[in-house]
Amino acid sequence: MKRNYILLLVAVLSCISLSCEKDFLDKKPDSALLVPESLEDLQALLDNSNSVMNYAPYLSAFSTDDFYITDNGFTSAQFDVRNSYTWAAEIYQPGSAVTDWNRMYQQVFYANVVLDKLKDLAAEPGSQAIYNQVKGSALFYRAFAFYNLAQQFAAPYWAATAGQEPGIPLRLTADVNEPSKRATLLETYARITGDLEEASGLVPDRAAYKTRPGKAAVVAMLARVYQTMEDYPAAASFATSALQLNSTLVDYNALNVSAARPLPAALPDANDEVLFYCIMSNSGLTSALSGVDAGLYASYDVNDLRRAAFFTDKGNGLVNFKGSYTGTANVFAGIATDEVYLIRAESYARNGETEKAMQDLNDLLQKRWKAGTFTPLTADDAENALRQVLAERRKELVYRNLRWTDLRRLNRDPRFALTLQRVVQGATHTLPPGDKRYVFPIPDNVIATSGIEQNPR
């Protein structure tokens, strides 16, 4: 009975959070079906990982230089994928749902349902830890969704202008009648970091399941956010906190790198590097008609086990990706300790701490190279250390839903700015640094119903 109740609750909430039909909202459902009544109900709502909570956007991944699509693959790709891949001015098919927007705000809605109910649901004796876990998890999920939305639908963060740049709508209650408006970019990131910092004091150090956030995941996410904001001292501090809780790295020498799925399954608990499990909404990135960028593939040394663990050479210049940290065909978009090491290494390098940066980098790489072949990397200065860290970040975090954010933040630095170019069916497409197309358009139906400001393309 309890399971049936939760399934019905989830179905109704999904309809409300995604529906744009006024007549649906006019038909008020029985409130007993809408309002969970216990901590168990609230946790069950947040545990809806298979269809709502543990997903990240995917269209921006198609816009990166991680991979390419063959001409045949391009022809068969869905409308919004083709347009994202070629950086078109218009992305979405008219009248179609935009999953990258809808699912993230569905996550926000679920989190807000939980947070609203918790205000009226006092922790009973002996249940404070569970109460805190549920509240901390809801805050994390909301912040995670807001962050992912900001990477796609708002401009890159720059402290000097963040107070004037439009951010995203910050839905902070489950009231569907509350009008939407865009917060500033400064307000957007303040809410993200505020939710995460509050969550870090509520969740347990280690979650019972990788689909839930533990403290290591929360502070690792804070490190990612502060890196995105280019606040490198804060990023290093939170990365250190995360590594104090979990510094495990998988030794790739223990893997069968030639296997179809070399990485251990993240669920239920086989990959000790995974701090928080999340996948991209679309797995077309691993289609047989798409391959890793040739220059990126060539950058892996023959003794670098990631070359074989991550990729399969299909011949004729086509190299497919196989090395997802899910251990399955699903593309990982969560949080893992290898990313945390690289966040701290980059932060150390930018803060002038060359030796510490190289130590973190070498701690990671010695687990990635064939035993007995790795010579620790050295750097004469912080500049050289930074270049090496960024080069390894590119190779380690491929197909992890991080490259788009990296391109956006690094493009402001002439040392690392890139002009992306693709040739698709004989036509050349180019994306220069700082282009307006680094910000995705907000779906037209959202603009029409809310009147919020559209992103220029």
Tokens of 394: 């590119």
Q: What is the pLDDT of residues 316-352, one digit of tens each?
A: 889 999 999 999 999 999 999 999 999 999 999 999 9
Contact 174, 233 (CB under 8 A): no
Q: How confident is the model at residue 12 (pLDDT cuts 50, 70, 90)?
A: very low
- Separation between Cα atoms, residue 242 and residue 223, nearest integer Å: 8
DSSP structure class, residue 7: H
Q: How confident is the model at residue 26 (pLDDT cuts 50, 70, 90)?
A: very low
Mean pLDDT (whole number) for 440-450: 95
Long-range contact list for 365-374, CB < 8 A, 24+ apart?
Answer: 365/392, 367/249, 367/250, 367/251, 367/252, 367/253, 368/252, 368/304, 368/305, 368/306, 368/396, 369/252, 369/301, 369/303, 369/304, 369/305, 370/253, 370/303, 370/304, 370/305, 371/253, 373/303, 374/303
Look at residue 162 and tell me whether its pLDDT is greater than 60: yes
Q: How confident is the model at residue 288 (pLDDT cuts 50, 70, 90)?
A: confident
- Separation between Cα atoms, residue 449 and residue 196, nearest integer Å: 30
Type of residue at 182: R
Q: How confident is the model at residue 151 (pLDDT cuts 50, 70, 90)?
A: very high
Q: Distance of alpha carbon 393 from its chain centroid, rounded? A: 15
Domain boundaries, the chain: 2-252+334-450
Mean pLDDT (whole number) for 195-216: 97
Mean pLDDT (whole number) for 100-128: 93
Look at residue 85 and tell me whether its pLDDT is greater than 90: yes
| Predicted pLDDT at 87 | 97
Mean pLDDT (whole number) for 144-163: 97
Extract the runs of DSSP E, i.e. beta strands, from 132-246: 166-169, 182-184
Mean pLDDT (whole number) for 136-147: 98
- Separation between Cα atoms, residue 390 and residue 110, nearest integer Å: 36
| Predicted pLDDT at 283 | 60
Contact 404, 60 (CB under 8 A): yes
Q: How confident is the model at residue 1 (pLDDT cuts 50, 70, 90)?
A: very low
Determine how many CB atoms are found less than 10 A away from the CB of residue 73. 19
Tokens of 423: 């040739």
Look at residue 8 and tell me whether its pLDDT is greater than 90: no
Comparing C-alpha atoms, which of 187, 406, 423, 196 is closest to residue 294? 423
Look at residue 32 and tell me whether its pLDDT is greater than 50: no
Query: What is the residue-averaged pLDDT of the chain?
Result: 91
Look at residue 11 and tell me whether its pLDDT is greater than 90: no
Look at residue 16 and tell me whether its pLDDT is greater than 90: no
| Predicted pLDDT at 34 | 55
Q: What is the pLDDT of residues 33-81, one digit of tens each?
A: 456 889 999 999 999 999 999 999 999 999 999 988 999 999 999 999 9
Residue 384, C-beta contacts closer than 8 angstroms, at least 6 positions apart: 354
Residue range 2-252+334-450 forms a domain whose CATH class is mainly alpha
DSSP structure class, residue 51: T
In this structure, of 80-84, 118-122, 334-338, the range with the lowest mean pLDDT score is 118-122
- Separation between Cα atoms, residue 67 and residue 286, nearest integer Å: 10
Mean pLDDT (whole number) for 237-257: 98
Look at residue 427 and tell me whether its pLDDT is greater than 60: yes
Q: Check: pTM over 0.85? Answer yes or no.
A: yes
Residue indicated by tokens 């992890």? 400
- Separation between Cα atoms, residue 92 and residue 322, nearest integer Å: 28
Q: Distance of alpha carbon 299 from its chain centroid, rounded? A: 24
Cα-flanking dihedrals φ and ψ of residue 276, to 5°?
A: -150, 130
Comparing C-alpha atoms, which of 89, 150, 146, 142 is closest to residue 116? 142
- Separation between Cα atoms, residue 376 and residue 362, nearest integer Å: 6
143-161 as b/e: b if 16+ CB within 10 A: bbbbbbbbbbbbbbbeeee
Mean pLDDT (whole number) for 136-161: 98
| Predicted pLDDT at 301 | 97
Mean pLDDT (whole number) for 358-387: 98
